Amino acid sequence: MSAWFRSRGWLALYLLSFLLYFAVVAIVMTAARLPLREILIFSMANTFSPALFGIPVVRYYRAPGAIGRPSGPIKHFTFGLTFAVASVATTFLLTRLAFGPRFKFRLDSALWGVLIAGLVFTILASAAHLSRVQSDLARERERAVAAEASRARAELAALRAKIDPHFLFNTLHSLLALVRQDPSRAEEAIEQFGDTLRYTFGAADGNEERTLQQEFQLIENYLALERLRLGDRLRVKETLDPDVAHVPLPVLTLQPLVENAIRHAIAPRAAGGQIEIHARRCGETVRIDVSDDGPGASAEALAGSSGRGLHLVRERLDRLYGGRAKMELQPSKDGRGLCVTIEIPVSSRP
């Protein structure tokens, strides 16, 4: 049995359609004042034939590419005419078997039967094709959702992999030295290192968002570990408006920006520098600024690995907020360094 017939939805719809068709034929026969036995026989004969031949029609037009196949209208007209003639001929044979020789063939009745059967064919073919189109669209939507989820996972994995391997090695070396010099501080640093790794690599629960407060906590741990290497060369000012502390933000949005500032503005300079991180509410948006007082980032620098991290952050913001978020790179207020500004809506993303 064909796949469509195994579907309860299609089976119910198919049977209901021909039950209604049977009722219409019966009403017409009743209006002709025929005996009840003849009404039932005529109605069953007129319903059984198109219902029987309708199965291959539905099966064909629910197949992929049925409408777009070569030969176009001629093929469909031939198929429909064959269905109509076969239905009328079968109806005539069934009726003749039931009533015997007293049932006479009439050309006008046969022509009307062909027209009605052609209408039934058109309805069946259209409904079957529409069902196929809807099924294809549903599958496309499912594939699109799966592809979007896969893309989101790939972007997040890329951001996780983007964390500078040198940061990990440098942190381990710093922790090794700190264990010998200051065991209590080393214990605290190890906890911060564990929290950083857990947040970065352990966010595999399918939730792409964290609160701003959680993102700031990650940054604080990250900066504390970087200070083991950079010491007083790394100076930080950060403010988080309590009104936006619980606003959701794509996970690992801020870390690539801070890492970029350390790599290009702090680490290369003997005197180090300062990073400022501020998050505040501006009307219906949350504005986040990550700036440094370094020499700024050239186009060549942004095209490298750090540029890739910023590019991933921008892509995720565009995808998750549907164009309602923006990210800009510009010189800092005093004309030195780089300022990355992110604006996201306070309300839930679409």
Dist CA 246 CA 173 (whole Å)? 35
- Pick the range with the lowest mean pLDDT from 70-84, 263-277, 320-334: 70-84
pLDDT given at position 305: 41
Q: What is the pLDDT of residue 20?
A: 73
Domain residue spans of the chain? 3-147, 163-345
Residue 303's pLDDT is: 44
Least confident of 67-76, 158-167, 169-178: 158-167
What is the dotted CATH code of the domain comprising 163-345?
Answer: 3.30.565.10
- Residue-level pLDDT at 146: 61
pLDDT at 281: 92
- Percent of the chain past pLDDT 70, that is, above it, reads 73
pLDDT tens digit sequence for 99-127: 766 666 667 677 877 787 778 888 877 77
Q: Which residues pair with 238 in a beta bridge?
A: 277
By the 8 A CB rule, do 171 and 225 touch? yes
Please tell me the predicted confidence (pLDDT) of residue 123. 80
Phi, psi of 289 (to 5 degrees): -115, 130
Residue 279: which of 199, 328, 343 has the closest Cα? 343
pLDDT tens profile 60-82: 777 776 665 555 677 788 878 88
Nearest to 294 by CA among 310, 278, 276: 276
| Residue-averaged pLDDT of the chain | 76
Average pLDDT rounded to a whole number, residues 136-155: 66
- Of residues 105 and 172, the one with the higher pLDDT is 172
